[in-house]
Structure 1
Amino acid sequence: MHSHYYGGGLDSTLRARQNRPYLRTRDDGVLVMVAMNGEFPFTSHYYDHRVGLAEMRAAGLTHRMLTFPGALGVELLPAAEIATAISAYNDHLAQLTQDTDGALIGLAGVPLADLDLACAEVRRIRRDLGLPGIILPSNYFNSLQELEILRPLLEAANEYGCHIMLHPGLKVGEQPPARPADHIQYRLSAVELQSSVAQVALTVIVSDMLDAYPNITFQIVNLGGTLPFIFERLESIARHRNPAEPFPTARLRRLWYDCASLGPRALETAVKILGADRIMLGSDYPIFKDDPYNHAVVPAELSAENKAQVTWKTAHDLLSHLDEMRQNAAR
């Protein structure tokens, strides 16, 4: 329930660009993606769904949720430049679900530089394409003030019911932050990223979003970042500094989480705090290629029931709920 897919025509669009994000061929003949914070080899794992599907089946995984490539910044480009490509990508995702008998499920993208177009596209995604939802860059959820920009989009998403993955990524017009002086990958991709994920979850639970948009299901990546490990400190802060308003820990269980790129010890802790019925298998494929079941679930000291819940049942129940909401809205 957390992997990324750069095909569906996006690869061709990015080959034609000259500014980040774009694809280029290095002098050594290697095709690379030039992204916001560097570049990486662009292998077939990123754009050919058949490669990932074969690896899935070899590992015994039956379903995978592909997402529009979060963090790349494609959805932030001027709508006149990218909206048609995004719509074509979303059509492709819907077709993949049919072609693979439901083995591949997709979270769509929306052109965020034009909110009117984005609202129309999220309605089309749910009403016409039947995709479960969309992916949004999480920097819009760093604070209560910043999320106000997306209110029209959230209202549109609420109409047919919609799953929204909040994935690390920039806002329209926002520049990448300054790079750390050293150990960039560890500092940015682990320590700072996990802290930012916690900030996003915090914004969702302390705002009115869960009540204002009851038909939206929010997915927080990477087990909620640091939240499962600091919630007791958050409770202590409230208890000592604002005892009349305790920290709303219980609202954390109104979100969904994936365990992408994390391991058994983190999973054990998250199950204790958040509940197995809120946690789903995730890999962050193809950036990380570990088999998430054997890497994270099998070694975890969890009951067989909790392992089954994380492995398939939470996702199954969530997707069934989304289908039911869509059908009810269409009546």
Structure 2
Amino acid sequence: MTPLTVDVHAHVLLPEVDALVADLPGFAAAREVEARRNGPAALAVSGTMVRERVPRLTDVSVRLAAMDAQGVDVQLVSPSPSHYHYWADEETAEKVHRRANEATAAHCAQAPGRLFGLGLVPLQHPALAVRALEHALEQGLLGVEISSHAPGRELSDPAYEPFWSRAEETGALLFLHPFGCTLDERLDRWYLSNTVGQPTENAVALSHLIFSGVLDRHPELKLIAAHGGGYLPTHIGRSDHAWTARSDAGAGCAHLPSSYLKRLWFDSLVHDPHVLRALITAVGADRVLLGSDYPFDMGTEDPVGALRAARLPDTDFDAVRGGNAAALLRLT
């Protein structure tokens, strides 16, 4: 029997979610922040790109045809990060995450066995996070997608402890996928907001989880970091040195920072076979999962081909292509 090929980084666009917030002043203000951070050239290109890809983001038959062309058997589908809406008040946030969870579940239900979904939680309201996670699981989703931070809160914030505990208890998947970067206008040209911003946000968020002791307190968390974990896995030596050399750096976590990488999972979307091999060296071949960022332009149209370009040993290739994800997602 041929092993499954599993793509853990694929997105769905949910117009019904944005319809909830389209007329709210907070949405307009959030769009202004996004425009400032990205710059007009990036927004123009992104607008055209997304419009061209709407069928691939919303139509299950188009999605399945694309998967077949890529040789992908299973996708783990998460909402477009544009649906986080972390600016929203509690009442609006409740509506957003429920609608997102239900719509993602409905999308995936059209292709049972091939599409599995993740929902959303309102990180800006930690008190709602456990209930939102449970709602996602009740819809048949495998977990939730989260960003690298919420306004005024890092992932190390103690207010998230009940959320980490419940995710650990339930075995829910957490997909760490940044949206936006707080370096703001420094990255507003040449799409630096994404090319530099996303890997920076991944590295910062993972560092907060490691150095604060979240991963000590919750060792069974099932967390997947998008974009190969950003800069952190290939630059983890600097974190290890600080943990060893400085009392302040080592105060919050019990072990060498690099050791925590082997408790996490990372997608393969690093756009460079040399970096992919370095990622595998840092975290282990059993901790890397195939990812495409379907169907956005910063993804890859050929995730299996990109993996093949790294020239991995056959056992590692098969593990990353789908063996690791099949075990993590409990697929048969």
Are the aligned partners of 1:108 and 1:131 in contact in 2 as well (CA < 8 Å)? Answer: yes
Distance 2:261 2:149 in 1: 19
2:129 aligned counterpart, secondary structure: helix
* Match for residue 271 of structure 2 among 238, 241, 262: 262
Cα offset, 1:272, TM superposition: 1.3
Cα 1:99/1:210, change in 2 over 3 Å: same
In structure 1, the partner of 2:5 is none
Distance 2:86 2:60 in 1: 21
- Which amino acid is the alignment partner of residue 189 of structure 1? N
Are the aligned partners of 1:256 and 1:278 in contact in 2 as well (CA < 8 Å)? Answer: yes
Greater relative contact order (Cα < 8 A, sep 6+): 2
In structure 2, the partner of 1:4 is 11
In structure 2, the partner of 1:120 is 131
In structure 1, the partner of 2:77 is 66
* Match for residue 81 of structure 1 among 86, 92, 105: 92
1:3 aligned counterpart, secondary structure: strand
Cα 1:67/1:35, change in 2 over 3 Å: farther
* Match for residue 138 of structure 1 among 148, 162, 170: 148
Q: TM-score, normalised by structure 2?
A: 0.79
Q: Percent identity?
A: 24
Are the aligned partners of 1:141 and 1:200 in contact in 2 as well (CA < 8 Å)? Answer: no
1:179 aligned counterpart, secondary structure: helix
Give the aligned CA root-mean-square deviation in angstroms.
3.4
Distance 2:279 2:246 in 1: 26
Distance 2:123 2:197 in 1: 24
Cα offset, 1:168, TM superposition: 1.1
In structure 1, the partner of 2:3 is none
Cα offset, 1:258, TM superposition: 0.6
In structure 2, the partner of 1:109 is 120
Cα offset, 1:15, TM superposition: 5.4
Are the aligned partners of 1:14 and 1:21 in contact in 2 as well (CA < 8 Å)? Answer: no
Distance 2:159 2:168 in 1: 16
**Number of aligned pairs?**
307
Are the aligned partners of 1:97 and 1:106 in contact in 2 as well (CA < 8 Å)? Answer: yes
After superposition, give the CA deviation of every residue in 1:197-231 in whole Å (9 maximum; x if it has no partner): 11222222223322423442111111121123222
Distance 2:139 2:23 in 1: 27
Cα 1:313/1:150, change in 2 over 3 Å: same
1:9 aligned counterpart, secondary structure: helix
Q: Which moved further from structure 2: 44-53 or 268-277?
A: 44-53
Cα 1:266/1:181, change in 2 over 3 Å: closer
Cα 1:17/1:142, change in 2 over 3 Å: closer
Q: TM-score, normalised by structure 1?
A: 0.79
Q: How does 1:30-49 map to 2 (within 5 A)?
A: 37=38, 38=43, 40-41=47-48, 42-43=50-51, 44=54, 45-49=56-60
In structure 1, stretches of 5+ residues that fail to align are 24-32, 324-331
In structure 1, the partner of 2:222 is 217
* Match for residue 230 of structure 1 among 231, 235, 242: 235
After superposition, give the CA deviation of every residue in 1:216-251 in whole Å (9 maximum; x if it has no partner): 211111112112322233334444556x96733222
Q: Which moved further from structure 2: 146-155 or 100-109?
A: 146-155
Are the aligned partners of 2:290 and 2:303 in contact in 1 as well (CA < 8 Å)? Answer: yes
In structure 2, the partner of 1:92 is 103
Distance 2:70 2:265 in 1: 24
Cα offset, 1:320, TM superposition: 1.7
After superposition, give the CA deviation of every residue in 1:55-89 in whole Å (9 maximum; x if it has no partner): 11121111111112225542442232342243133
Distance 2:168 2:20 in 1: 30
Distance 2:242 2:35 in 1: 42
1:201 aligned counterpart, secondary structure: helix
In structure 2, the partner of 1:183 is 189
In structure 2, the partner of 1:249 is 258
Q: How does 1:154-165 map to 2 (within 5 A)?
A: 154-165=164-175
- Which amino acid is the alignment partner of residue 278 of structure 2? T
Cα 1:20/1:313, change in 2 over 3 Å: farther
Distance 1:229 1:222 in 2: 12
